[in-house]
Every structure is written in C-alpha cells, then in structure tokens.
C-alpha cells in the first residue's frame, strides 16, 4: 500500500508543467492525505466528463480523472488486503477457503491450517472420533460403518451376532440341563436313605439320626412341602451334618483311612447340594441303586472306598456316574455361556477402539494431505512445500 502511494506521488511529480500549480494538483495531494489511515476506502465512480472541445486537452479535466483513478486503485488494493486478512482468519477456524486471488490462494504459507469443526457427524470428509467410539461401543460394526470400513463393519457385526447366538444357545441348553439333573436328584437321591445308611456305618460313632422325622416327606416334590415339613427337613439336615463331622472312614471290611469325612451335606436344594451328591463317594449310599439286588447288610454295602471307575464300584450304582455326567455337561454349557459374555464385552471394547483410531487416523491423513502448499523463493521460483505433523 505504501509502495502504491509512493508510486502515485512520483507520478504526480512527473506530471507536465502544464498541470503544476493547478487546483487539481492540490486536490490530488489532499485526497492522498485524507485517505491515509483508512482501512478500506470505497471505490468512487468516475463522473462522466463534459465533452471536450475538439483537439483541446484541458488540464483541469484530465487531472481529476487521474486523481479518481489513483484513488480507485488505492481502494481496490486496501479492500484486497482486508479480504485477505479475513480469509486467513476464517481459514484458521473453518478450513480451506479460496479468495479468488491467485497470489493469495497459491502462495499462502499453507492451503489449510487449523482444525475443521464438523459438528457431531463431521463435515468436509472429517469424522467424529467420539461418535465412532460410542457407536461401536453400543453395537460393534456401527462405528466401522460410519468410518466406511465396510469389511471391518461386517466382521464386527457378524462376530457380535455369532457371540449372542452362541450365548443364548448354550445358556438355554445349560438351564435345561440343570433342570434335568435337579429333577434327577430329587427322583433318585434321598436324604432319608443316606441318613439310614449313616446310622449303620461302622465309622459313625454318634447317636442314631432321627430319620423317622422325615419319613413322610416327599423329596421328589420339594415344591409341595408344607411349612412344618420344611422345618423338619431343615432340622434333620443340621443333625445330619453333626453326624458327618463325627464319622470316620472305617469300612465294614476293615478298610479305610480313619480320617473324618471330607464333606458335609449342604441344605436341600442348594447349588452345592446338587454338586456334592454326584461328586464324592461318601454320598453314594443316598442313590436308589445302592447295593441294588444285594443283601443290604453285606459288608460291601458299607464300603465307600475303591470305586474310581464305574465297573469297579462294588455297589454297582450307575446312577451316581450318570448323574455326575449330566451335572458336568450342564455346568459346562453354563460356563461356556458365561465366558461368551466376557468375549462379547471384549468385542465391544475392541470395536470401539478400532472405530476411534480409524477415524482419528483418517482425520490426520486429511491434515497431512492439506499441509502441502506452494511457496515462492527469493529467486521468484514457485515450488511445492510439504509439512508433516504427527500427533499422539
């Protein structure tokens, strides 16, 4: 701007003498002085001059035109400077904006600077990492679809569907199996029978258990018990645990370790109740096929040692092993379903992290691409310049 003013002053100084001392010259100087300090003077339309006399050039008519032309040049330059400043400020906030000026658009330090503000869903090719993270955290694959990573979206979604399908399938089968083995236990394992056997076991040194108190209780249908029956069963189980703590592994055939029983029977219907009666051999006498077809007073019927295998079990109770297998199968399915929930949570977390990183890498890629600019060197040669910035 100052260069333009200097140029115009020089032009005025170089004017022909015919213009010197005229009022127009003084007006031109006053115009320059008046326009100093104004940021963006308005363009002034050149008035239509009166028709000059043929062959005569009047200085008073020519010089005002020069003054107006010079003023319009100054106004255009200052308006361009102001627009360039606004464009730079706007570009810092909203991204690349072309001003229409070749010098400004091509030779600026960077075609893009700052960050784009794209709102919730992003704009201008940018993506919202928080939104992508939240979408995949809720439903794996949504954030990948938002990032247009279609293969990843399909994999994450298919894995999610497969996991939930497996969870509901295994849990349903496990619950059905649990209901089946509990019904099995109610039908074929009796606390009354176990208590009667314990009274006759040589290793038991306590007083006889009052098995008569529960003789009328239907253990096949615990849901139909009266309040009185529930109280009598609870009292009997307390006495039963006391008897077990007073028992030793001393079998009728003289074998045994003499150690106390390893376990006591939990309350009827507890989770541990259903597990122990099919896990430890001391509870074998409660099964309905214990010593089936044999003299119940035979010494082998009071031995709880040496039946590590089904066929080696002297009492030939297959129900113990059948129940143990059913119980194990049902619990395996329930554990598998439980572990599947952990994998589902991990799938949500990994899909959310993948969506977050993918969107951030995408945005950084846009920043790297937009950092390429053209710069003019001291020799006037225009060359491309690339600036790469990594943010972690």
Where are the domains positioned within the chain?
A: 2-108, 169-337
Q: Which of 95-99, 157-161, 381-385 has the lowest mean pLDDT?
A: 95-99
User: What are the pLDDT digits (tens) for 30-72?
Assistant: 554 555 555 444 544 445 555 555 544 454 454 455 445 555 5
pLDDT band at 86 (very low <50, low <70, confident <90, very high): low
Give ∠ CA 220-221-223 in degrees, rounded to 5: 150
CA dihedral angle for residue 150, residue 151, residue 155, residue 156, rounded to 10 degrees = -40
What dihedral do alpha carbons 12, 14, 20, 26 form, nearest 10°? 10
Please tell me the pTM assigned to this model: 0.57
Which range, of 162-166, 168-172, 287-291, 362-366, averages the lowest pLDDT?
362-366
Tell me, rounded to whole angstroms, the distance of Cα 387 from its chain centroid: 33
Q: What's the pLDDT tens digit per position in 258-317?
A: 888 888 999 999 999 999 999 888 888 899 888 877 777 777 777 776 545 555 455 557
* Two tokens, residue 78: 């200052």
Q: Output the six-digit token pair for 7.
A: 């140029």
CA distances from 26 to 18, 31, 310 (A): 14, 9, 126
């Amino acid at each position: 701007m100052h260069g333009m003013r200097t140029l115009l002053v020089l032009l005025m100084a170089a004017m022909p003498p015919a213009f010197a001392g005229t009022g127009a010259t003084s007006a031109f100087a006053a115009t320059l002085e008046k326009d100093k300090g104004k940021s963006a003077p308005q363009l002034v339309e050149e008035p239509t001059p009166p028709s000059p006399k043929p062959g005569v050039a009047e200085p008073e008519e020519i010089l005002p035109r020069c003054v107006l032309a010079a003023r319009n040049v100054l106004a255009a330059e200052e308006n361009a400077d102001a627009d360039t400043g606004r464009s730079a400020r706007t570009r810092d906030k909203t991204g690349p904006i072309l001003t229409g000026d070749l010098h400004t658009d091509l030779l600026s330090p960077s075609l893009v600077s700052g960050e784009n503000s794209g709102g919730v869903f992003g704009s201008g090719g940018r993506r919202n990492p928080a939104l992508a993270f939240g979408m995949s955290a809720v439903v794996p694959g949504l954030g990948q679809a938002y990032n247009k990573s279609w293969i990843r979206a399909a994999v994450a979604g298919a894995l999610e569907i497969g996991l939930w399908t497996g969870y509901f399938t295994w849990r349903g089968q496990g619950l059905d199996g649990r209901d089946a083995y509990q019904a099995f236990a109610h039908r074929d394992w009796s606390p009354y029978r176990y208590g009667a056997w314990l009274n006759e076991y040589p290793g038991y040194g306590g007083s006889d258990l009052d098995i008569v108190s529960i003789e009328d209780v239907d253990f096949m249908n615990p849901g139909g018990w009266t309040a009185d029956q529930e109280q009598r069963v609870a009292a009997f189980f307390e006495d039963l645990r006391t008897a077990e703590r007073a028992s030793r592994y001393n079998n009728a055939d003289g074998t045994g370790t003499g150690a106390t029983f390893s376990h006591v029977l939990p309350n009827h219907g507890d989770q541990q109740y259903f597990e122990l009666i099919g896990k430890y051999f001391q509870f074998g006498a409660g099964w309905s096929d214990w010593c089936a077809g044999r003299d119940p007073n035979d010494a082998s019927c009071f031995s709880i040692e040496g039946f590590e295998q089904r066929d080696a079990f002297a009492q030939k109770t297959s129900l113990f092993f059948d129940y143990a297998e059913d119980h194990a199968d049902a619990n395996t399915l329930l554990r598998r379903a439980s572990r599947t929930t952990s994998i589902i949570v991990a799938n949500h977390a990994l899909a959310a992290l993948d969506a977050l990183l993918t969107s951030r890498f995408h945005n950084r890629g846009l920043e790297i691409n937009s950092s390429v600019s053209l710069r003019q060197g001291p020799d006037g040669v225009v060359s491309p310049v690339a600036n790469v910035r990594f943010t972690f």
